Amino acid sequence: MRLLQVKRQLSDFNSYFQIKEEKGLTLVFLKPILLGGDIVWLMKSIPTSEKKTDKGELWQYVLEKQYPGPKNEEGKFDISISMYFENDRLRQINFPERFLEYISKPMLIKMMKSMGDAEIDKSERRAGSKFQARSSLEIPRKQQVVEVLGLPFSAKDSKNTSTFIYKYNLRDRKTDTTSGEFRLAMGFNFQKEDYRLIQAETNLNGLRMSLDFSFNEK
């Protein structure tokens, strides 16, 4: 129920959230609802690390990028997510700085608002929404996704589209290794004609969210 409340808040984004672009991409909850236990339930795990602060707790989840074989690219493309709690309520989430390279503040706000208007299928544990682009220039391209996330775990082409799949495992605090289960999978479907993103989908432990980027030029 608290996740549904957050969804409703997203529809009125400016009243409930703030975005900061200092030392990474930070989403601030102005009227926090989610509890630490909600995050553990969502991630199906305690954080990779946590520490006490003067006002609360700082949690970090490290999602390690997976490869079908030996690592085949240079650079570090794991996703480290920091979460700050005050009085056990999630106050802010910080994402890696490289996410800022192609995701502007106005674009992120528009994406978040779209999620607030998502249609939810509880039986399928799925939510879907549409990104309301003003022009095709607002929509990410394949090369931009690769520069932020690196090479995909797998890729598949059809006549008109190209699909990239990325997979991540959660680094375990106790063993300092990743489990054998994929905790996060992300799929990106691109139009072949101009490499424009058509749809993005995430699957976090069985909870699926899709965002439709399709856009028809007038």
| Residue where a domain terminates, one of 67, 99, 131 | 99
Buried/exposed 61-90: b ≥16 CB within 10 Å, e otherwise? bbbbbbeeeeeeeeeebebbbbbbbeeebb
Look at residue 217 and tell me if it is in a domain: no
In one-letter notation, the amino acid at residue 145 is V
Same domain, 165 and 194: yes
State the pTM of this model.
0.86
**What is the pLDDT, as a whole number, of residue 16?**
93
The Cα 97–Cα 48 span in angstroms is 19
Residues 69 and 125 both lie in one domain: no
Instruction: Using the predicted structure, report yes or no on whether residue 125 has a pLDDT greater than 80.
Output: no
End residue of a domain, out of 99, 122, 155 = 99
Whether residues 117 and 175 fall in one domain: yes
Start-to-end C-alpha separation, the chain:
40
Q: How many domains is the chain built from?
A: 2
Please provide the average confidence, as pLDDT, over all residues in the chain: 86
Q: Are residues 115 and 80 in the same domain?
A: no
Q: Is the model's pLDDT at 211 over the cut of 80?
A: yes
Q: How far apart are CA 183 and CA 203, in angstroms?
A: 8
Q: Which residue has the higher pLDDT, 23 or 209?
A: 209
In a domain, 218, yes or no: no
Query: Within this chain, do residues 195 and 139 fall inside the same structural domain, yes or no?
Result: yes
Q: How confident is the model at residue 179 (pLDDT cuts 50, 70, 90)?
A: low
Given a cut of 90, whether residue 174 has pLDDT beyond it is no
> What's the rounded mean pLDDT across residues 150-174?
90
- Domain residue limits at 13: 2-99
Mean pLDDT of 172-191: 75
One domain for residues 55 and 157: no
Structure tokens at 189: 């479907």
Q: How far apart are CA 71 and CA 93, in angstroms?
A: 28
How would residue 201 be classed by pLDDT, with cut points 50, 70 and 90?
very high
What pLDDT, in 10s, does the model give residues 46-99? 899 999 988 899 999 999 999 999 998 999 999 999 999 999 999 999 988 888
Beta strands in the chain (DSSP E): 17-20, 25-29, 49-52, 56-65, 79-86, 89-95, 119-121, 126-130, 154-157, 161-170, 184-191, 197-204, 207-212
Report the interhelical angle of 2-11 vs 105-116 (nearest 10°): 130
- Using the predicted structure, report yes or no on whether residue 3 has a pLDDT greater than 90: no
- The pLDDT score that the predictor gives to residue 98 is 84
Tell me: pLDDT of 151 over 80.
yes
Q: Are residues 173 and 114 in the same domain?
A: yes
Percent of the chain past pLDDT 70, that is, above it, reads 94
Q: Is the pLDDT of residue 124 over 80?
A: no
Any idea of the CA torsion for 144, 145, 147, 149, to the nearest 10 degrees?
160
- Would you state the pLDDT for residue 217? 61
Q: Which of 8-12, 14-18, 106-110 has the lowest mean pLDDT?
A: 106-110
For residue 154, the model assigns a pLDDT of 96
Q: In 3-state terms, what secondary structure has residue 149?
A: helix
| Residues 166, 148 contacting (CB under 8 angstroms) | no
Q: What is the arithmetic mean of pLDDT over 150-168?
A: 94
